């Protein structure tokens, strides 16, 4: 069922192309799969739920869902600086570096993101309390993906 | 204790008889504001580390060094240095072995001799607190089996002397530092493309069946390409592709 396969990389590339070229919309199709990536004010504005694209392009909608942008605009959002794999503990078997409810200092290590055998401890962008952890140990993360919220 | 190393211009040597881990020492130096191109060399490590909490057995006679860098780039770009280091080590090993030995790079940065692991590389970086920020420091840790190798490892190992080379630790590390300086300059001046191209010429298993051990499971497929960021592209049996940024690659049985 190729139509239901979400090609995140392709969507990401198209989205990057949008940003680079300044275009508002790119449509791409191959082998019966059609992808449209569009940007509009409804996407950028937080909480502007919904009326984006057409039912024919569920993948693009899912990838650019307003909820994601919503969290991204949160001042205490901890975002992944790179594509990689996230770890919640310093080493396998260790307790998590932080848990929901913990108070953290600015710069304190919250998570580790690995790519290409490069380990990147993720520092707290600000002090406060961890209110949400949005990733699970060892899951892949994307560039800019919100991993935690600090209030 | 051995004589000092003859390192390329701009490098500063910190020579230690023993340390917990050269990566730890370089990280401490990075936090303390040490200059880029500080080269930490220890004759042995009491707590040598591999990826994700694995230990790296570190007796006297093998090479353990960590290079502190301060590239003004984002963490995703800094990770490309993984391949820079693999190239430098592969060229070093190849230059010190008899003709006929097959040197290869296993994704992303292990170096193999005739299919046996001779070197492991682990990088650590620290980014500033600003979102979208640059790395503050990057540490490139390299372990090279020279006089000995540990038995019973997950991936079968070898050492330079076992494989027919005769160079002592000093000569190996000096050659590595020269190759590292060379490839770092290319990476800095021309970006990742030439590094990626050169790495592909050493690539082990490219186009063949591999098993990738991820943190939580194992997947099998064809190692079909290296993407522009250095991630491994795995073609799965059902025709889909999977991008792997972290995992251990083994030849398929």
The reply to whether residue A119 touches residue B125, judged by beta carbons under 8 angstroms, is yes
Sign of CA dihedral B123, B127, B133, B137: negative
% of chain B residues with pLDDT over 90: 87
Domain formed by A52-150, architecture: Beta Barrel (2.40)
Contact criterion met (CB below 8 Å) for B203 and B217: no
pLDDT at A26: 64
Q: How far is B226 from chain A (nearest CA, A)?
A: 11
pLDDT, tens only, A84-112? 999 999 888 899 999 999 999 999 999 99
Interface test with B, best of A77, A115, A136 (most B CBs within 10 A): A115
Strand, helix or coil for residue A44: helix
Structural domain boundaries of chain A?
A: 8-38, 52-150
**Over 70: is that where the pLDDT of A18 sits?**
no
Confidence of residue B216 (pLDDT cuts 50, 70, 90): confident
Taking domain B12-202, whether its CATH number is 3.20.20.140 is answered by: no
**Over 50: is that where the pLDDT of B126 sits?**
yes
Instruction: Please give the structure tokens belonging to residue B48.
Output: 């040598």
Distance CA A65, CA A47 (A): 10
> Is A128 in the B-facing interface, judged by CB distances under 8 Å?
no
Q: Which pTM does this prediction carry?
A: 0.81
If one looks up domain B209-251 in CATH, what number appears? 2.30.30.100
pLDDT at B1: 45
HSE (side-chain half, CA atoms, 13 Å) at A115: 26
**Over 90: is that where the pLDDT of A124 sits?**
yes
Structural domain boundaries of chain B?
A: 12-202, 209-251
Confidence of residue A36 (pLDDT cuts 50, 70, 90): low
* Complex ipTM: 0.93
pLDDT, tens only, B127-166? 876 656 899 999 999 999 999 999 988 899 999 999 999 9
Strand, helix or coil for residue A59: helix
């Amino acid at each position: 069922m190729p139509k239901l396969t979400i090609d995140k990389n392709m969507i990401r590339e198209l989205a990057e192309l949008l940003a680079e070229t300044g275009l508002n919309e790119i449509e791409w199709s191959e082998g019966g799969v059609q992808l449209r990536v569009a940007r509009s004010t409804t996407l950028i504005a937080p909480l502007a739920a919904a009326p984006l694209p057409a039912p024919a392009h569920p993948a693009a909608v899912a990838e650019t869902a307003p909820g994601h942008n919503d969290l991204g605009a949160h001042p205490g959002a901890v975002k992944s600086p790179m594509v990689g794999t996230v770890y919640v503990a310093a080493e396998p078997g260790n307790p998590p570096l932080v848990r929901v409810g913990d108070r953290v200092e600015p710069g304190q290590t919250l998570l580790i993101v690995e790519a290409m055998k490069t380990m990147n401890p993720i520092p707290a962008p600000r002090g406060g309390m961890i209110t949400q952890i949005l990733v699970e140990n060892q899951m892949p993360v994307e560039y800019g993906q919100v991993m935690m919220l600090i209030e | 204790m051995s004589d000092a190393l003859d390192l390329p211009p701009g490098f500063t040597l910190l020579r230690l008889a023993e340390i917990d881990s050269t990566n730890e020492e370089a990280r401490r130096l990075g936090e303390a504001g040490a200059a880029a191109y500080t080269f930490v060399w220890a004759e042995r490590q009491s707590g040598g580390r591999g990826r994700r909490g694995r230990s790296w057995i570190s007796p006297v006679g093998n090479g353990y060094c960590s290079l502190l860098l301060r590239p003004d780039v984002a963490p995703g770009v800094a990770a490309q240095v993984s391949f820079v280091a693999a190239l430098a080590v592969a060229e070093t090993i190849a230059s010190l072995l008899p003709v006929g030995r097959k040197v290869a790079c296993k994704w992303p940065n292990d170096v193999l001799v005739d299919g046996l692991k001779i070197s492991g590389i682990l990088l650590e970086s620290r980014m500033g607190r600003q979102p979208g920020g640059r790395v503050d420091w990057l540490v490139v840790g390299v372990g090279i089996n020279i006089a000995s190798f540990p038995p019973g490892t997950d991936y079968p190992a070898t050492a330079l002397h076992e494989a027919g080379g005769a160079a002592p630790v000093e000569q190996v590390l000096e050659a590595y530092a020269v190759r590292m300086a060379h490839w770092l300059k290319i990476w800095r001046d021309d970006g990742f493309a030439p590094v990626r191209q050169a790495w592909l010429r050493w690539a082990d298993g490219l186009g063949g069946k591999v098993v990738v051990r991820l943190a939580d499971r194992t997947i099998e497929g064809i190692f079909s390409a290296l993407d522009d960021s250095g991630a491994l592209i795995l073609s799965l049996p059902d025709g889909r592709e999977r991008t792997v940024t972290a995992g251990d690659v083994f030849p398929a049985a």
